[in-house]
Amino acid sequence: MSLFLKVSLAAVGLYAVLIALFTFMQGAILFPRSLVGPSPDLPQSAESMRIERPDGSILHGNLIPGQDPTKPLILAFGGNAWNADAVALFLHRIAPDHPVVAFHFRGYAPSTGSPSAEALKTDAVAIHDHVADIAPNGVIATGFSIGSALAAHLATERPIIGAVLVTPFDSLGAVARQSLPWAPVRLLFRHDMNTLDALRNTATPVALVLAAQDEVIFPERAEALVAGLSESDHAIAYLSRIQAGHNDIYNHPELAPALRDALAAVTD
């Protein structure tokens, strides 16, 4: 056997191994539960919440009451490695007048079950319905990273006041295709979340906060969302581009005022 043939067969074998890893480990890559940090201490006023899902999974979350009873409730969806309690506390500190609710994704302790794109989308609707009775002034869905797609999905399923999306994307499949150009993502990807398609089907006011130097979700994906919404005549209530990366945006001094402006824009 020639050296060229040996090298070619080795390359084909390596490619097959990489494709197999992507196929069978994409769930673990998208939902890295082991990377989630511990829960911070919440205010004494926080109230624990629990939802039992039809498949037997139990979702756990917390409500942090707001200081102004006239403000809508912020229903928060964090990133794929962000503790839900930390998300709730982060938003409470930025917008203390609003009540804030955040639930741990299924499979993320203490919630049980197994995470998937479809399961998280149906859970998002169930969480909304669970808190609707304590949100007389309406709900603003606020999502970060992968959570932005859940907020967008909720906007198509329920009459919420608005959706605030931070470091969003047009679709998770497009993110995977751009990140893994060598893989047949269209054939193998099982966890797509299409933010653009969801928002095209709703008139819910949308506010976008983008990380202009995002190294995880390439800026092209967020800009494709902006362009797609503009082309479909879906007005964007608020748009901010912050010169930060995907993770360091949370320490950027422009984020807190941008989030306050975004909440005000969709509320007004």
Q: Indicate the helix (H) or strand (E) that contains 117.
A: helix 117-131
Could you give the domains of the chain? 31-266 (3.40.50.1820)
Ranking 15-24, 33-42, 173-182 by mean pLDDT, the lowest is 15-24
Q: What is the pLDDT of residue 176?
A: 77
Tell me the mean pLDDT in the region 121-134: 97
* Cα–Cα distances in angstroms (integers) from residue 226 to residues 31, 56, 223, 239, in the given order: 26, 38, 5, 9
pLDDT band at 19 (very low <50, low <70, confident <90, very high): low
The amino acid sitting at 100 is: V
Q: Hey, which residues does 206 pair with through a beta bridge?
A: 163, 236
CA neighbours closer than 13 Å in the CB half-sphere of residue 215: 5
Q: Residue 154 and residue 146: Cα distance in Å, rounded?
A: 13
Q: Kindly report, residue by residue over 230-264, the tens digit of the pLDDT.
A: 999 888 999 999 999 999 999 999 999 999 999 99
Tell me the mean pLDDT in the region 131-155: 97
Nearest to 174 by CA among 232, 136, 101, 228: 228
Greater confidence (140 vs 178) lies with: 140
Q: Tell me if 226 sits within 8 A of 237, measured CB to CB.
A: no
Q: What are the tokens at 177?
A: 């295709």
Q: Hey, which residues does 194 pair with through a beta bridge?
A: 171
Q: What is the pLDDT of residue 175?
A: 84
Tell me the mean pLDDT in the region 114-130: 96
Q: What is the pLDDT of residue 235?
A: 83
Q: Residue 177 and residue 183: Cα distance in Å, rounded?
A: 8
